Amino acid sequence: MRVACEGEVALFSVRDQGVGIREEDMGRLFKPFPGVRVPGVKDSTGLGLSICKGIVELHGGEIWAESGGPGLGSTFTFTIPMRRGEDHS
pLDDT in tens, 8-24: 999 999 999 988 999 99
pLDDT in tens, 49-87: 999 999 999 999 999 999 999 889 999 999 999 986 555
Q: What integer pLDDT is reported at residue 35 of this predicted model?
A: 75
Q: Which pTM value belongs to this model?
A: 0.82
CA–CA separation, 70 and 46 (whole Å) = 18
**Domain segments of the chain as ranges:** 2-81
> What is 2-81's CATH topology?
Heat Shock Protein 90 (3.30.565)
Kind and range of the H or E element at 12? strand 9-16
- E strands within 1-89? 2-6, 9-16, 62-67, 74-81
